[in-house]
């Protein structure tokens, strides 16, 4: 008879599937076994996986010096999970006991109970300075050299450092950001988002049920700001779901059409609009064939490698590879070309991706400008936009290592495009 599910067992299975098989955490957590856990147990299991992945480099550093040879992957993952649990505040005795019990629950790992016990007893006498000194988890081989080429090795080390810091929760508010920062006990960020210090269930916070705000990283909130004043304008939000940017546009008084190819993701957008009592026309369609222009403004938040969100999704480095990036680059180009055809002569198009790869950001804009004599990039303008973020071709490059002393931000790229010689209405 299979052992009953427990958060640690489910987390260990999930971890092994991510690190060993390249499955995504979002897929892992939809497995039926996760439904056998209560909601708080599910949250614990998910946190155990995320934190182990976030601190894998540090855990391996400490474990390697206490292991004569690397044990089978499942045992190594068990040791990693217990090491991280202890180093992030778990009680030594409990962590060791649970790990030994967990080893005993599987016939392949049961013979290694003694090893698990011995190694973790050594780990749990180490003090926090050993942990703090241990190296951060390195970006995967498919990504690291690319970023080092784009920004230099020291910058990559800063990005890796930023990935090791648990991200704060940022929210976008319908109005009165300063007031909401106070009510939520958070901080009003220079760009207008509210950063919440509180951990725990976000949906239990004041203002969630009443739809006064929604979770959105500060970096992700900038592209809409680059569109300028959209009040009363007809705006097409391409690749809109689950709707973070649609809600911003609607809150600013735009007449929004939210377009996405995924029915399931669009259902989440519709729920978000209902909760925030904001309005948008929703369309489930392929943006490559949709036609309803001209629009006064267009936002294209194109599908991408999502490499800018690794600090929020520490499983990404284990599941993404360079395979597929070429297809994404082609799709982004096709979407950009299609979007240009729907923009009114005076209109602005903001292109953005949550990617750290130049292929999905700066290079796409250079390519577009080389193909279209009549299109120009226009200088970005938004509250507290740091001039250091503006890249040579005129777009905005955001990196996870920016705002390090305030809790960082997601990696993003965005650029504003317009037909040459047409005055900007913003």
Ligand X SMILES: C[S@@+](CC[C@H](N)C(=O)[O-])C[C@H]1O[C@@H](n2cnc3c(N)ncnc32)[C@H](O)[C@@H]1O
- Contact in structure between 162 and 404 (CB atoms under 8 Å): yes
> CB of residue 269 vs ligand X: minimum separation in angstroms?
7
Q: Is residue 320 within the footprint of ligand X (CB under 6 A)?
A: no
Q: Does 352 appear as a known binding residue?
A: no
Q: Is 354 a catalytic residue?
A: yes
Q: How far is CA 327 from CA 24, 90, 300, 303, 304, in A?
A: 19, 43, 17, 11, 10
If you search the block for the tokens 């749990």, which residue do you land on?
124
User: In the complex with ligand X, which residue's Cβ is closer, 50 or 305?
Assistant: 305
Separation of alpha carbons 214 and 218, rounded Å: 12
Identify the DSSP state of 383. Answer: T
Enumerate residues 250-309 that contact ligand X by CB under 6 A. 259-262, 265, 286-288, 301, 303
Active-site entry in 162, 354, 356, 365: 354
Binding mask 228-247 for ligand X (x = CB under 6 A): -----------xxxxxxx--
User: In the complex with ligand X, which residue's Cβ is closer, 16 or 216?
Assistant: 216
Phi, psi of 257 (to 5 degrees): -110, 120
Q: Does 244 appear as a known binding residue?
A: yes
The residue of the chain with the least Cβ separation from ligand X equals 239
> CB of residue 219 vs ligand X: minimum separation in angstroms?
11
User: In the complex with ligand X, which residue's Cβ is closer, 109 or 257?
Assistant: 257
Q: Does 241 appear as a known binding residue?
A: yes
> CB of residue 55 vs ligand X: minimum separation in angstroms?
27
Task: Mark 16-45 as b/e (b = at least 16 C-beta within 10 Å).
Answer: bbbbeeebbbeebbeeeebeebeeebbebb
Residue 189 CA from chain centroid, whole number: 19
**Side-by-side strand order, sheet with 213-215:** 187-188, 194-196, 169-173, 213-215
> CB of residue 301 vs ligand X: minimum separation in angstroms?
4
User: In the complex with ligand X, which residue's Cβ is closer, 184 or 259?
Assistant: 259
Annotated catalytic sites, by residue?
354
As annotated, the binding site includes: 239-245, 260, 301
Contacting positions for ligand X (CB under 6 A): 239-245, 259-262, 265, 286-288, 301, 303
């Amino acid at each position: 008879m299979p052992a009953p599910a427990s958060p640690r067992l489910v987390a260990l299975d999930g971890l092994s599937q991510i690190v060993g098989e390249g499955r995504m955490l979002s897929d892992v957590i939809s497995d039926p076994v996760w439904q056998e856990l209560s909601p708080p147990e599910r949250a614990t299991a998910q946190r155990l996986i995320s934190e182990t992945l976030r601190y894998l480099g540090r855990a391996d550093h400490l474990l390697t010096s206490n292991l004569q040879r690397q044990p089978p992957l499942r045992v190594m993952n068990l040791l990693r999970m217990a090491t991280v649990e202890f180093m992030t505040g778990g009680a030594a005795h409990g962590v060791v006991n649970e790990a030994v019990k967990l080893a005993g629950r599987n016939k392949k790992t049961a013979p290694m109970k003694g090893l698990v016990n011995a190694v973790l007893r050594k780990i749990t006498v180490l003090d926090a300075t050993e942990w703090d000194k241990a190296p951060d988890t390195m970006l995967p081989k498919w990504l690291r050299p690319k970023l080092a080429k784009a920004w230099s090795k020291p910058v990559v080390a800063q990005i890796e450092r930023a990935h090791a810091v648990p991200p704060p929760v940022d929210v976008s508010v319908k109005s009165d950001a300063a007031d909401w920062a106070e009510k939520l006990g958070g901080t009003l960020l220079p760009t207008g988002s509210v950063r919440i210090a509180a951990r725990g269930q976000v949906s239990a916070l004041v203002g969630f049920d009443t739809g006064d705000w929604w979770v959105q990283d500060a970096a992700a909130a900038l592209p809409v700001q680059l569109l300028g004043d959209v009040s009363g304008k007809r705006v097409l939000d391409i690749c809109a779901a689950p709707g973070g940017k649609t809600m911003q546009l609607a809150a600013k008084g735009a007449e929004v059409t939210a377009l996405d190819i995924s029915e399931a993701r669009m259902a989440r957008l519709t729920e978000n609009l209902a909760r925030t009592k904001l309005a948008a026309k929703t369309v489930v369609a392929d943006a490559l064939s949709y036609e309803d222009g001209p629009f006064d403004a267009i936002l294209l938040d194109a599908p991408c490698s999502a490499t800018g969100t690794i600090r929020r999704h520490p499983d990404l480095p284990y599941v993404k590879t360079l395979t597929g990036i070429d297809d994404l680059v082609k799709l982004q180009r096709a979407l950009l070309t299609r979007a240009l055809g729907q923009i009114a002569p005076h209109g602005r198009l903001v292109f953005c991706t949550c990617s750290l790869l130049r292929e999905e950001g700066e290079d796409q804009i250079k390519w577009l400008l080389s193909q279209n004599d009549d299109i120009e990039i226009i200088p970005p303008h938004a509250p507290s936009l740091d001039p250091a973020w503006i890249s040579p071709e005129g777009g905005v490059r955001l990196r996870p290592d920016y705002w390090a002393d305030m809790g960082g931000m997601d990696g993003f790229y965005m650029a504003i495009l317009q037909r040459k010689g047409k005055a900007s209405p913003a």
